[in-house]
A and B are shown apart, each in its own frame.
Chain A
Amino acid sequence: MQALYAQLLVGLINGSFYALLSLGLAVIFGMLNIINFAHGALYMMGAFAAYFLLNLGGINYWWALLLAPIIVGIFGMILERTMLKFLTGLDHLYGLLLTFGIALIVQGVFQNYFGSSGLPYAIPDQLRGGMNLGFMFLPIYRGWVVVFSLVVCLGTWYLIEKTQLGAYLRAATENPTLVRAFGINVPRMITLTYGLGVGLAALAGVLSAPINQVRPLMGADLIIVVFAVVVIGGMGSIMGSIITGFALGVIEGLTKYFYPEASNTVVFVLMVLVLLVKPTGLTGRAA
């Protein structure tokens, strides 16, 4: 029983990465209608940004949490301005191919210069050590990841669903022409939205840097699972992606305990089941 609690908690930790990443994907898909396959590469860039900030600039983890998403977000906005914006109104397939190509190029370049086993990034001193919870030893850093990503996820949800700015955004997806008629710069808003989604990916990258190696392929390994999460949760649904992110982390964690050999596939089995029963995803609305 104790072991079970521990696995639930560990699942929640992984779930927070799934949630952050699928949230970014959902935001981008919801506003830009683009399936952002470069998300994994941008997540990786976030981790590398943190590494370089620390090792070249002496800028610590806390500042990296703020700066890395901004740096990578700007990179994302440049991508949007120079390439993605030309895909508006085209079939999803074009966006998918373009972003997938970008991901391959970015990963290839990083791998060329930094190899495959990656670079070390230490846990910040303030978050070292752990607590004994009775049923498990919880590293403080992992606890921090869960709390921080929950706050960021809910904050993003609030921003998009409950504020004036969010209302503009949602309106712009429904009818961009009409929103422009109100004097709102829709293309700029879309660029900023893409930047926000990318920033969320980079933030997840910074959070994961001390846990995993900072590796060029860290995103490629993760992104496939995250896409399954998004499909299960329902494309474009903000709250849906947050909840499924955490839930699937927990389910995966339990699989690692009961039948570890299947832990890499359980998410995809669930995806197939959900698609069979409810093709729009658990929280998705019919198109």
Chain B
Amino acid sequence: MRQIISTMLLGTAIALAATSAAMAQDKNVKIGVLTDNSGLYADLGGPGSTVAAQMAIEDSGLAAKGWKLDLISADHQNKPDIGSTIARQWIDVEKVDIFMDVLNSGVALAVNNIVKEKNSILIDTGAATSDLTNAQCSPNTIHWVYDTYMLANSTGQALVKAGGDTWYFLTADYAFGHALERDTAAVVVKSGGKVIGTVRHPLNTADFSSFLLQAQASKAKIVGMANAGGDTTNTIKQAAEFGIVSGGQKLAGLLLFITDVHALGLKVAQGLNFTETFYWDLNDGTRAFSKRFSERMKNKAMPSMVQAGVYSGLLHYFKALEAMGGNPHDGAKVVAKMKEMPTEDALFGKGTVRADGRKLHPAYLFEVKKPEESKGPWDYYKLVGTTAADQAFRPLSESVCPLVKK
């Protein structure tokens, strides 16, 4: 009898221990926003991305359910070596669970490797290179907002269809520019066009006149700008000066953000076509979020798609954690859960995360309004076309990502 009682007691003790272990599930999460806080991309990511992350934390309501969510951010200065150092320190010392934003393709590819090696998580909302979900794909990375394949596919195809069959590329000389040029050139050739030349300029160039003269001399119908941020705004502004557009050539902004259009002003930017996956004035959901976001920004800016992606990506991450009942601090496991669950939020609508880490949602082709069409500050875009989520990105059949089972 005594033996039975003691066995029962032991059993209860074990059962208790098991339940208390489950109850003590770790509910601590540390989020790191790694971005360009001071350079040419700071307006499209930067401090705004941290604001978006803060909003996601507040809106998730997890704090009320006993979770402890910490947010830190750092400036990688667009340098892969600095980004890598911060990433290692964040994982090893700060115990960061998830990296957000990480714009700049050079930095993103470096951080992608570290995150994989250390089994952390990267939700990249800022970098463009489609390699993140193709040759360099990882079980720890989700590419959230856009990529070079999608941009090329949408903008490139539309322009070739409209008659722009000869292209000259102005390319930022690093991983991002190369990827964007490569993917766009492929689409141009596939759609029956021809690439007649390319010039590569260093990142963060102030004066584009030499490069623009070369583009002008090429007589290409389309001057494709495979650059971003301050480089693109300077190119557009100076192209107007050198009469590129009035001379009959067309500028193709392959990657433009609303902050760029704001910086250029409608007078210069009007008529440009380009692709984004988020615009503040798309529907009630995007408007409501953007209004709240803008109120928290020092310069009252509307969110870029990169910043919107930080919010949307984090919300999905939180949903996955909640479904798992706690934070396992196991990057690959959480990402697998995130791929299992469909995504839904007010900003990007319904979507999915594919096996290769590609987040799918529709892509929108916009045209910049004329000054007289705009009703006020930040009213900049006209929607010209929409590509469905399953059409917008690289099909899995073309993928070389080892995570994709064929």
Contacts and interface: CB of A to CB of B under 8 A. Distances in A.
Contacts of B213: 3, 6-7, 10, 136
Contacts of A94: none
A41 to B, nearest CB: 14
A264 B202 contact: yes
A120 B233 CA distance: 10
Interface centre among B201, B207, B243 (most CB of A within 10 A): B207
Interface string B181-221: 00000000000000000011110111101110110110000
Contact of B211 (A114, A142, A256): A256
B386 to A, nearest CB: 27
A192 interface: no
A13 B209 contact: yes
B207 A14 contact: yes
A150 to B, nearest CB: 18
Interface stretch (A56-64, A167-175, A213-221, A276-284): A213-221
B243 A115 contact: no
A182 interface: no
A218 B207 CA distance: 11
Contact of B259 (A117, A120, A215, A261): A117
Contact of A213 (B41, B44, B233): B233
Interface string A133-170: 00011010110000000000000000000000000000
Interface in B72-95: none
Interface string B250-266: 00000000011011110
B299 interface: yes
Of the four ranges (under 10, 10 to 19, 20 to 34, 35 or more), the interface on chain B belongs to: 35 or more
A264 to B, nearest CB: 4
Interface string A1-38: 01100110011011000000000000000000000000
B46 A213 contact: no
Contacts of B210: 7, 10-11, 253, 256-257, 260, 263
Nearest to A111: B38
Contacts of B268: 120
Contacts of B209: 10, 13-14, 142
Contact of A215 (B202, B230, B247): B230
Contacts of A261: 173, 200, 202
Interface in A103-136: 111-120, 122-123, 130, 136
B2 interface: no
B233 to A, nearest CB: 6
A275 B201 CA distance: 27
B263 A213 contact: yes
A123 to B, nearest CB: 7
A211 B42 contact: no
Nearest to B244: A137
Nearest to B171: A260
A222 interface: yes
B229 interface: yes
B233 A116 contact: no
Interface string B223-238: 0000001100110011
Contacts of B40: 116-117, 217
Contact of A130 (B41, B242, B265): B242
Of A113, A119, A260, most buried by chain B (CB within 10 Å of CB) is A260
A139 B211 contact: no
A213 B237 contact: yes
Given A136-B213, A260-B201, A113 B263 contact: no
B39 interface: yes
Contacts of B173: 260-261
Nearest to A6: B213
A118 B264 CA distance: 8
B43 interface: yes
Contacts of A215: 230
A118 B233 CA distance: 9
A261 B177 CA distance: 13
A221 B242 contact: no
B227 to A, nearest CB: 13
Nearest to B259: A117
A61 to B, nearest CB: 15
A199 B38 CA distance: 27
Given A114-B299, A115-B42, A260-B211, A213 B230 contact: yes
Given A116-B40, A130-B241, 15 more contacts: A7-B210, A7-B213, A111-B42, A115-B259, A116-B43, A117-B233, A118-B230, A118-B263, A137-B242, A139-B241, A211-B241, A212-B206, A221-B206, A257-B214, A261-B200
Interface of B: 38-44, 46, 173, 199-202, 204-207, 209-211, 213-214, 216-217, 229-230, 233-234, 237-238, 241-243, 247, 259-260, 262-265, 267-268, 298-299, 301
Give the 7 A-B residue pairs with the shortest CB-CB distance, closest first: A256-B210, A120-B265, A116-B42, A117-B263, A264-B202, A117-B43, A139-B241
10 contacts: A113-B299, A116-B41, A116-B42, A118-B230, A136-B213, A137-B216, A211-B241, A212-B237, A218-B206, A260-B199
Interface of A: 2-3, 6-7, 10-11, 13-14, 111-120, 122-123, 130, 136-137, 139, 141-142, 211-213, 215, 217-218, 221-222, 253, 256-257, 260-261, 263-264
